[in-house]
Amino acid sequence: MSDPGPLVADRTALLSQARLRLALGLRIVDIRTDRVAVKFMTGGTYLVVTRAQLDILLRFQDGDTVPQVLCRLLSERQSPPLREYYELLLKAVRSGVLVTPEQPEPPAKIAALWPFRLPGGLGRFFALTTMGVASLLITTHTLELPTHAGQLLLGWITVCLCVSLGHLAGASVLAGGEGEVYAPRWVLRSALPGFRFDDADAIMLGRDGEADLALVRLAPLFAATALAAVWYPALVLPLFAGLLYQLCPFFNTPLMALLRATYRDPKLDTAYDLHFAKSQLFLVLLRARLKFADQRFLLMSAGYSLVWLGLAFLCGCALLHANAGQLLAIAIKEGGSHLTPVVLLAGMGTLVASGAGLAGWFAARHVRNAVAPWLEQRAARRRRPVLTPESIRSCLAGTHLFRSFPPQDLTVLATAVRTEEVKPYVNIVRQGQHGDRLYVVFSGAVEIVREPPVGRIEVVGELQAGEVFGEIALLRGGLRTRTVRASCRTVLLSITQDDFAALVLSRISRETVETAVQKLAFLARIPLARSWSPRAASIFAQRSQFKDFPKSEALIREGEDNLFFYIVQEGAFSVRKHDAEIARLRVGDFFGEISLLQSSVATASILPATSSRCLVMPRREFLDFITHDFLIGLQFEEISSRRLGKPIFPLAPAAFAEAR
């Protein structure tokens, strides 16, 4: 498929903001039971899709954005796999089927005014008759070898002429089936120079039309071979070699085109040349490849390859004036039988060594990736930090709270902070006490501890260098809500309440402080949001709220609607199915996304095992969030599919009442 012009430069903008609409001048043809070819007539480009994928493309007739259409598909339970959805739209834009205001008009591809028309049925009858007669004459007449170079040259010229006639006949069949002939030309730099044309438009003829075109391309060479067998036997061998070339199963030949048309459905454009599979392992890609391959085509190709190799071998035997038994005797006499075991053992040893090396490389890489962060963290904790005005200012600039401050304000703030060094397991602030300072972790780490009125204390979180705590008491003028203690030797930067009001609240709002310190810092710590862009994390923080839940108050009930997405910030939750606990969710875990994505009822009940707190986002906001960022959408699709043990999409169509 040719590229009619540059894609929108920013793929993120294309899949989140750009308005897409169907191009003018599209031709849509059913080419198989569940295959549809969409041709952009102006650019001469093609898109092969399923009927369901075509229905998705037709939703863009009014110029909608990608998230708008995806939200409707999710609500209607008609969403395809998100990876397939995004692949489809990118391929549709690249082929010109979907256009954007920013996309330039692709260069026009002009079809040739082909003067000849040949009905496909007539061409097929002639081709099959010629092939049958030629096969009969070749097998019943004595084979004569060429006696001089002139006969070989004449045979080569005849093959070139027949191949050119085959292309002329193929172009006529294409034009007769209402297809378009592109780029008719003479090709001289080739093993078989002559006339050629671009037969890409054959896909618009359907299975029968593609088969007819492939057959008529073979007919002239079979006819010439049949005539040579009767009147000029010395040319049969060169012509037979030309036939073997045209019938070769190892590259794009008329015979392979015939096999594809007969036994294989055209490849979907969403099944290859993928934009979203760069990080997948080879085996995953191979599994996907085999999923889309037609088993009948593979079986027929393999069987035909064996037949072709047999014909080529017989042709070689004729040239050497020897049969297969004589060639085997020569190989044994020359010592070939002794060489064979050595070659086999060497090949097997190479295969085993390669497999062991590959497995070792994967294992070493996995161990390194798992251990390296832990070692780096330990080394960082043991290093004694260097406290300078520049390092303090750099630490403040790296926090979510002060990231947007201009350099001059950071310099003033750095001079106002006080540094404190705390030994391991020493309390920094105590739950229930009055708070008069904001703290920034300069180095080391601290633990957030909840002290319930009854029962044992519980560690509910840990803060690393660059994170902030103690803001709640300053903002609300109350008491400390949690105890914070050092988990190792820790250096802190503290800001008094007066300096906080004068240097911080005079520049940003209280809501901004709560969002930056509580929501963004929390999201940055959990695995789910660690790979999110700062913009995505900021949007999630703005659209979500913290909510506290007492013990045993069910958030989600099995078999009922769920309208929220939850991320656990404190406490623990029990996942129960048929009144039996099947899992425990702790800090950083999340739930509710499967029922939201599927527009279905909950499959399990979720109850707090302790007094807990969650970051909560309503369904409408959640769907808007994941559909406007395709990377996050793909992330949630992968997570949900892994939890279900099967792909979450596609689903059986069903109506969803928004009022539920």
CB neighbour class for 93 (10 Å; exposed up to 12, middle 13-18, buried from 19): buried
pLDDT interval class at 321 (50, 70, 90): low
Taking alpha carbons only, the member of 493, 428, 440 closest to residue 471 is 440
pLDDT interval class at 454 (50, 70, 90): confident
DSSP state of 566: E
Statement: residue 573 has pLDDT above 90: yes
The residue to which tokens 């903001």 are assigned: 17
User: Which whole number is the average pLDDT over 263-288?
Assistant: 64
Residues found in the chain: 660
pLDDT interval class at 660 (50, 70, 90): very low
Distances (CA, A) of 177 to 115, 123, 220, 648: 13, 12, 20, 42
489-523 pLDDT, tens per residue? 899 999 998 998 899 988 888 888 888 888 888 89
Q: What is the secondary structure of 439-474 as a DSSP string?
A: EEEEESEEEEEE--SSS--EEEEEEETT-EE-HHHH
User: Which whole number is the average pLDDT over 444-454?
Assistant: 84
In this structure, are residues 71 and 78 in contact, taking their beta carbons and an 8 Å threshold? no
User: Which whole number is the average pLDDT over 129-151?
Assistant: 82
User: Which whole number is the average pLDDT over 40-45?
Assistant: 92
pLDDT interval class at 145 (50, 70, 90): confident
Question: How crowded is the C-beta side of 352, counted as CA atoms within 13 Å?
Answer: 6
pLDDT interval class at 285 (50, 70, 90): very low
The residue to which tokens 């800090």 are assigned: 587
In this prediction, residue 4 carries a pLDDT of 39
Q: How far apart are CA 636 and CA 618, in angstroms?
A: 16
DSSP state of 63: -
In this prediction, residue 553 carries a pLDDT of 80
In this prediction, residue 134 carries a pLDDT of 87
User: Which whole number is the average pLDDT over 196-212?
Assistant: 93
241-274 pLDDT, tens per residue? 888 888 888 888 898 888 888 888 888 888 877 7
330-385 pLDDT, tens per residue? 555 555 444 545 555 565 566 567 667 766 766 676 666 666 666 666 665 555 66
In this prediction, residue 441 carries a pLDDT of 93
In this structure, are residues 497 and 437 in contact, taking their beta carbons and an 8 Å threshold? yes
Q: What is the secondary structure of 20-37 as a DSSP string?
A: EEEPSSEEEEEEETTEEE
In this prediction, residue 284 carries a pLDDT of 45
Look at the pTM and tell me if it is higher than 0.85.
no
Taking every pair of C-alpha atoms in the chain, what is the biggest distance, in angstroms?
Answer: 112
Taking alpha carbons only, the member of 317, 315, 318 closest to residue 327 is 317
Q: What is the secondary structure of 333-401 as a DSSP string?
A: HTTHHHHHHHHHHHHHHHHHHHHHHHHHHHHHHHHHHHHHHHHHHHHHHHSPP---HHHHHHHHHTSTT
299-320 pLDDT, tens per residue? 877 787 887 777 776 666 665 5
In this structure, are residues 264 and 297 in contact, taking their beta carbons and an 8 Å threshold? yes
Distance of CA 475 to the CA centre of its chain: 45
* Helices and strands counted in the chain (H then E): 23, 23
In this prediction, residue 58 carries a pLDDT of 95
Q: Which two tokens stand for residue 381?
A: 């904790």
Q: Choose the weakest-confidence range: 168-172, 349-353, 561-565.
A: 349-353
In this prediction, residue 8 carries a pLDDT of 41
pLDDT interval class at 288 (50, 70, 90): very low
Burial string for 31-43 (b: 16+ CB within 10 Å, else e) reads: beeebbbbbbbbb
- Provide the 10 A C-beta neighbour count for residue 368: 10
In this prediction, residue 316 carries a pLDDT of 64
Mean pLDDT score across all residues of the chain: 83
pLDDT interval class at 637 (50, 70, 90): very high
Q: How far apart are CA 475 and CA 106, in angstroms?
A: 57
Please tell me whether residue 163 adopts helix, strand or coil conformation: helix
User: Which whole number is the average pLDDT over 586-601?
Assistant: 92
Question: How crowded is the C-beta side of 209, counted as CA atoms within 13 Å?
Answer: 24
In this structure, are residues 599 and 74 in contact, taking their beta carbons and an 8 Å threshold? yes
- Provide the 10 A C-beta neighbour count for residue 520: 22
Going across the sheet that includes 45-49, the strands are 26-32, 35-40, 45-49
Residue bearing the bigger pLDDT, 121 or 656:
121
Residue 652 contacts by C-beta under 8 Å, 6 or more apart in sequence?
Answer: 77
Statement: residue 99 has pLDDT above 50: yes
In this structure, are residues 569 and 616 in contact, taking their beta carbons and an 8 Å threshold? no
Statement: residue 642 has pLDDT above 70: yes
Statement: residue 141 has pLDDT above 80: no
Please tell me whether residue 574 adopts helix, strand or coil conformation: strand
pLDDT interval class at 7 (50, 70, 90): very low
Residue bearing the bigger pLDDT, 167 or 331:
167
Q: How far apart are CA 485 and CA 494, in angstroms?
A: 15
pLDDT interval class at 86 (50, 70, 90): very high
- Provide the 10 A C-beta neighbour count for residue 261: 23
Please tell me whether residue 7 adopts helix, strand or coil conformation: coil
Residue 484 β-bridge partners: 429, 448
Q: Choose the weakest-confidence range: 83-87, 209-213, 344-348.
A: 344-348
Statement: residue 164 has pLDDT above 90: yes
Please tell me whether residue 46 adopts helix, strand or coil conformation: strand
Positive or negative, the CA dihedral 236, 238, 241, 245 is negative
User: Which whole number is the average pLDDT over 588-592?
Assistant: 94
User: Which whole number is the average pLDDT over 548-562?
Assistant: 89
The residue to which tokens 């198989």 are assigned: 32
Taking alpha carbons only, the member of 221, 222, 214 closest to residue 133 is 222
In this structure, are residues 591 and 597 in contact, taking their beta carbons and an 8 Å threshold? no
The residue to which tokens 């008529």 are assigned: 216
Going across the sheet that includes 490-496, the strands are 418-422, 490-496, 437-443, 468-469
User: Which whole number is the average pLDDT over 415-420?
Assistant: 92
In this prediction, residue 290 carries a pLDDT of 45
User: Which whole number is the average pLDDT over 187-202?
Assistant: 92
In this prediction, residue 80 carries a pLDDT of 93
In this prediction, residue 379 carries a pLDDT of 62
User: Which whole number is the average pLDDT over 84-93?
Assistant: 93
In this prediction, residue 655 carries a pLDDT of 39
In this prediction, residue 194 carries a pLDDT of 94
